[in-house]
Amino acid sequence: MERDILIKNISDNIRVQRTKLRISQDKLSELTGINQQQISYIENRKVCPKLETIIKIAEALKVTVNDLIY
């Protein structure tokens, strides 16, 4: 999968899942231990998160890693 498409999928899917659960970026930060600014960067396609970060976010959002990547 091309890097730009991967980043787009991850950022869009995190935002969709987070808003579906009505969780703010601050709350997701609390649930994952990931800095809120880092979550913002991920959602705004400024960075590509490491797999470890994706796993933490998936667990907090109660979805699979595949749900966030594809």
Q: Which domain holds residue 47?
A: 3-62
Q: Quick check: is 67 in a domain? A: no
Q: How far is CA 42 from CA 21, 39, 55, in A?
A: 18, 5, 14
Write the pLDDT tens digit of every residue in 12-21. Answer: 999 999 999 9
**pLDDT, tens only, 49-64:** 999 999 999 999 999 9
Domain CATH number, residue 22: 1.10.260.40
Q: Judge whether 69 lies within some domain.
A: no
Is 10 contained in some domain?
Answer: yes
In a domain, 68, yes or no: no
- pTM across the whole model: 0.93
What domain count does the chain have? 1
Name 7's Cβ contacts closer than 8 Å, sequence gap at least 6. Answer: 45, 48
Contact between residue 6 and residue 48 where contact means Cβ atoms under 8 Å apart: yes
- Evaluate whether residue 70 is within a structural domain: no
Residue 67 three-state SS: helix
